[in-house]
Amino acid sequence: MVRRNIAVEGVLPGGSYTVTIRADYPNRPGMLGNVASIIGMAGGDISSIDLVEADRSRMVRDITVGAQNSDHARKIIDTLKRIPGFQVRSASDRVFLSHLGGKIAVQNRIPVKTRRDLSNVYTPGVARVSTAIALDPEVAWTLTGKGNTVAIVTNGTAVLGLGDIGPQAALPVMEGKSMLFKEFADVDAWPICLDTKDPDEIVRVVKAIAPGFGGINLEDIAAPACFEIEARLRAELDIPVFHDDQHGTAVVVLAALLNALKIVGKRIEDIRVCVCGVGAAGTACTEMMQAAGVREVIGVDRYGIVYPGRPEGMNPALEEYARRTNPEGGPGSVHDAIAGADVFLGVSAANLIDATDVQRMNKDAIVFAMANPDPEVMPDQIEGIARIVATGRSDFPNQINNVLCFPGLFRGVLDVRAREINQAMKLAAAHAIAAVVTKKELSEEYIIPSVFNRNVVRAVAREVAAAAHATGVARRRRKSRPAVFL
């Protein structure tokens, strides 16, 4: 199994972690040589030195140094600080440098350079556009950015593998997500980080801000609150509401599963799936697989197999889940649940299963171990035991990544001004992603396309739009009526 290079925790294999140190030191002959030799002795590798400013007494330089990792870089900096008169103004690595000042900005789509521009885009011209929308609210889809704009809404309670870090610390993730929306699908997505954990309040806020948006992407909101919030917003808003951690994951998992089943030659109706982790993602993956034909699912969480009336760790969402899964009932651990399964789907935590567990699965076992950043079982551990392995990571084959879904899905939704995202549209997205991998290309190590495969967005957008039309939730007619704006 080939493991590719990747920056995990800022460490790049092959020593390509670099830190840029802004150094302010006395302007004396020999100083730079002294600095350079101290860096060398500390095991650092200077890759560039740039002058920032200088006068007779001081020099300010940016020194870029290769190190093993961030701890090593910190040690190099501490050593440098011992040089008399040497000050570190700032030090950042590549990841932090790329975050300075944020990752997204507003861009004007037309110029405002002249008086005439100003009277076009602002007063007095804009008054006519506002009047047109007041008379017919539907034209807001044409005459404003609403039709291309999505709110990325989070309260920061379930961010990546970090958990409840709050709305402000979640902002870099939402900015990153906004970048992906823009880069892959030309969707304008703005982060809205909410300082509240109250589901009622979140529903109220999202409903209040909805007029300016064509869709709502809920993100990194913890279960079970996320279920109620999404359900209520879907019912009360006339624009699509999509909790990506649930449904984005479910769509991509199903895409990978459809292709994996082609390889092992099993019918989806016949398989047994063990779902490990029954939070936002696990619940949605279960529903999605069931919608696609899976009959037998056993869910497991930290209290073991989920079954109706379990004495520990239940809530209304889990009771509902228990009723819909696990036809054989009864308690047990993940090790019991995985025995005899055709598919293990992990959306839980690191190292929960091992090779022995996978050995007890059915022939041609399919293991999707998607815990972040460390999977439920490392792919190398089950090489030759499982037939097909996928993870959420980019350093193993078969990366199951939401980026394969949400850009194309929202592109399709906005293109037809859909009122909602229904199951038919999600199934269409999953089939579109799966179909990007051709029969000829399909193999145990290639069941899901790369996130950089540009065909994915186009295919997903097209199929989602078609499904929206077919299910009657597209607001835009295929043939648009004449638009006269005067």
Residues in 313-372 that interact with a copy of itself by CB under 8 A: 372
Q: Which of 17, 25, 177, 426 is catalytic?
A: 177
Q: HSE of 240 in the Cβ direction (CA atoms, 13 Å)?
A: 36
180 binds a copy of itself (CB under 8 A): yes
Could you give the CA distance from residue 83 to residue 254 in angstroms, rounded to a whole number?
58
Distance (Å) of CA 46 to CA 28, 33, 35, 151, 385: 20, 12, 10, 43, 45
453 binds a copy of itself (CB under 8 A): no
Does residue 191 have a cis bond before it (omega within 30 degrees)?
no
Residue 177 appears among annotated catalytic residues: yes
Give the binding-site size for a copy of itself (rule: CB under 8 A). Answer: 118
Burial (CB count within 10 angstroms: exposed 0-12, middle 13-18, buried 19+), residue 424: middle
The least CB distance from residue 155 to a copy of itself, in Å, is 9
149 binds a copy of itself (CB under 8 A): yes
Q: Which is nearer to a copy of itself, 207 or 310 (CB)?
A: 207
148 binds a copy of itself (CB under 8 A): yes
Q: Which is nearer to a copy of itself, 7 or 32 (CB)?
A: 7
Amino acid code (one letter) for 297: V
At what angle are helices 225-236 and 199-209 packed, to 10 degrees?
A: 30
The least CB distance from residue 109 to a copy of itself, in Å, is 5
Strands 388-391 and 45-54 come out as: unpaired
The window from 36-44, 163-171, 324-332, 430-438 that contacts a copy of itself (CB under 8 A) reads 163-171
Q: Which is nearer to a copy of itself, 183 or 383 (CB)?
A: 183
Q: HSE of 405 in the Cβ direction (CA atoms, 13 Å)?
A: 29
Asked if 400 and 370 count as a contact pair (C-beta separation under 8 A), the reply is yes
Strands 241-243 and 272-276 come out as: unpaired
Asked if 155 and 196 count as a contact pair (C-beta separation under 8 A), the reply is yes
235 binds a copy of itself (CB under 8 A): no
Q: Which is nearer to a copy of itself, 129 or 291 (CB)?
A: 129
The window from 185-193, 257-265, 355-363, 461-469 that contacts a copy of itself (CB under 8 A) reads 185-193
The least CB distance from residue 305 to a copy of itself, in Å, is 30
57 binds a copy of itself (CB under 8 A): no
Of the residues 35, 174, 400, 404, which one makes contact with a copy of itself according to CB under 8 A: 174
At what angle are helices 166-185 and 455-470 packed, to 10 degrees?
A: 90
Of the residues 170, 284, 341, 416, which one makes contact with a copy of itself according to CB under 8 A: 170
Q: Which is nearer to a copy of itself, 287 or 376 (CB)?
A: 376
Under rule CB under 8 A, which residues in 117-146 are in contact with a copy of itself? 118-134, 137, 140, 142-146
Residue 122 appears among annotated catalytic residues: yes
Strands 58-67 and 17-26 come out as: antiparallel
The helix (H) or strand (E) run that includes residue 231 is helix 225-236
52 binds a copy of itself (CB under 8 A): no
Residue 272: both structure tokens together: 């047994």
Dmax (CA) for the chain in angstroms is 82
Could you give the CA distance from residue 168 to residue 402 in angstroms, rounded to a whole number?
22
Could you give the CA distance from residue 478 to residue 468 in angstroms, rounded to a whole number?
11
The number of beta carbons lying within 10 Å of the beta carbon of residue 99 is: 13
7 binds a copy of itself (CB under 8 A): yes
104 binds a copy of itself (CB under 8 A): yes
Of the residues 68, 87, 381, 422, which one makes contact with a copy of itself according to CB under 8 A: 87
The least CB distance from residue 360 to a copy of itself, in Å, is 31
Binding mask 258-297 for a copy of itself (x = CB under 8 A): ----------------------------------------
Q: Which is nearer to a copy of itself, 171 or 461 (CB)?
A: 171
Under rule CB under 8 A, which residues in 386-415 are in contact with a copy of itself? 394, 403
Q: Which is nearer to a copy of itself, 117 or 228 (CB)?
A: 117
Of the residues 59, 73, 334, 474, which one makes contact with a copy of itself according to CB under 8 A: 73
451 binds a copy of itself (CB under 8 A): yes
Asked if 405 and 425 count as a contact pair (C-beta separation under 8 A), the reply is no
Q: Which is nearer to a copy of itself, 165 or 349 (CB)?
A: 165
54 binds a copy of itself (CB under 8 A): no
Q: HSE of 7 in the Cβ direction (CA atoms, 13 Å)?
A: 12
Could you give the CA distance from residue 255 to residue 405 in angstroms, rounded to a whole number?
10
The least CB distance from residue 116 to a copy of itself, in Å, is 7
85 binds a copy of itself (CB under 8 A): no
Could you give the CA distance from residue 83 to residue 201 in angstroms, rounded to a whole number?
54
Binding mask 186-225 for a copy of itself (x = CB under 8 A): --xxxxxxxxx----xx-xx-xxxxxx-------------
Could you give the CA distance from residue 75 to residue 101 in angstroms, rounded to a whole number?
27
Under rule CB under 8 A, which residues in 16-35 are in contact with a copy of itself? 19
Could you give the CA distance from residue 423 to residue 408 in angstroms, rounded to a whole number?
16
Q: HSE of 92 in the Cβ direction (CA atoms, 13 Å)?
A: 9
Amino acid code (one letter) for 271: I
Q: Which is nearer to a copy of itself, 3 or 323 (CB)?
A: 3
Task: Give me the active site residues, please.
Answer: 122, 177
